[in-house]
Amino acid sequence: MNQTKPFARWTAPIAVAIVFTSTSALAFEPGSTECIAPSGAGGGWDMTCRLVGKTLQDLKLIPGTMQVINKAGGGGGAAYAEVINKRNTDNNLIVAASSATSTRLGQNAYPGNTMDQVKWLAAVGADYGIVAVAADSPYNTLPQLMAKVKADPSAISFGGGSAAGGWDHLKVLIAARKADISNMRSIKYVTFDGGGEAVTQLMGGKIQAFTGDLSEAKGFVDAGKIKVLAVLAPERLSGDFAKFPTAKEQGIDVVGANWRGFYVPGGMSQDAYNFWVKAVGTVYDSAEWKATMAKNGMAPLNLRGDAFQKYVKESVNEINALSKEIGIVK
């Protein structure tokens, strides 16, 4: 019997070594990484992919550069369907998302698709919504614009990067309600594939007002091509954005924050999912990303993994209820 003791003593470390080696072999390491922006170049989703992709590269969290693929269509629905139907097990893919995504899901606007078919990764901040007009517009305040809408709804067309009934549209409707406009269906809204295209059409006179997020319009604001009538924030932002008045201080008490983050394929391995949660979390926690947020007018929103999954689910349910109330969803 004593002869078995040395055997037991020497085999235990060997067994541990075998388990350790096996676990290491299964750990995910990123290869050629990609980020899908479900819009054309210049929109908020495109910006999210490019800024986060660059920071992932700068922090050496991924090998080489992250390729950004623009896939516009259906307010994000084309990209959503492609991920589910064609790239469901891709471990090297992340997809930009925002409140517009949860809005469309809450309104059953992605035919046959639900939020549970993908995995929700993390948020990287939030954009506060804005209402803006062309630089030469006669309107200088949000109450002036809303007064014109109330007097002659046909005179003002709003445009944004989400489809009709999407988050950009909903922000206008909520603001209009706060401005005592009762007929929500009379408000004209034109949809474009991304905020960049909507701002371009604003400058071209195709629409009279832009509804979107501050970060996607910042370049146009800095160039003096558009003017911001109101930021849909509870109080004025800091830094470069402190000059823009809130809707609230103009007597229209509305707040609209657009979260920005990512989802990944539903069939992604748990190891890969854990890697991306940690990697995007590292980006969020970095000094580099804090500087990027400040430069682009994004507010903090620190949600990742299970906490973000829960947040999106609650958002989808809330939007579904609101949309039914105003008649967008039956």
For residues 297 and 130, is the Cβ–Cβ distance under 8 A? no
| Residue 265 and residue 83 in contact, taking contact as beta carbons nearer than 8 Å | yes
What is the per-residue pLDDT for 218?
81
CATH of the domain at 235: 3.40.190.10
Residues 319 and 246 in one domain: no
Q: What is the pTM of this model?
A: 0.69
Q: What is the pLDDT of residue 127?
A: 83
| Residue 208 included in any domain | yes
Which is nearest to 211 in space by CA: 172, 178, 240? 172
pLDDT of residue 5: 37
Q: What angle do CA 83, 126, 315 make, to 5 degrees?
A: 60
pLDDT value at position 71?
96
Quote the tokens at residue 62. 């991924």
Q: Same structural domain for residues 94 and 145? A: no
Q: What is the pLDDT of residue 184?
A: 83
pLDDT tens per residue across all 330 residues of the chain = 444 333 233 333 434 444 433 334 458 999 999 999 999 888 889 999 999 999 999 999 999 999 999 999 998 999 999 999 999 999 999 999 998 899 899 999 999 999 999 999 999 998 889 999 999 999 999 999 999 999 999 999 999 988 777 788 888 988 998 999 988 888 999 999 888 899 999 999 999 999 998 877 888 888 999 999 999 988 888 777 889 999 999 999 988 888 999 999 999 999 999 999 999 999 999 999 999 988 887 888 899 999 999 999 988 988 887 788 678 888
Whether residue 122 sits in one domain with residue 264: yes
Pair (270, 249) in one structural domain: no
The answer to whether residues 246 and 262 belong to one domain is no
In which domain, by residue range, is 228 found? 128-257
Residue 262 lies in a domain: yes
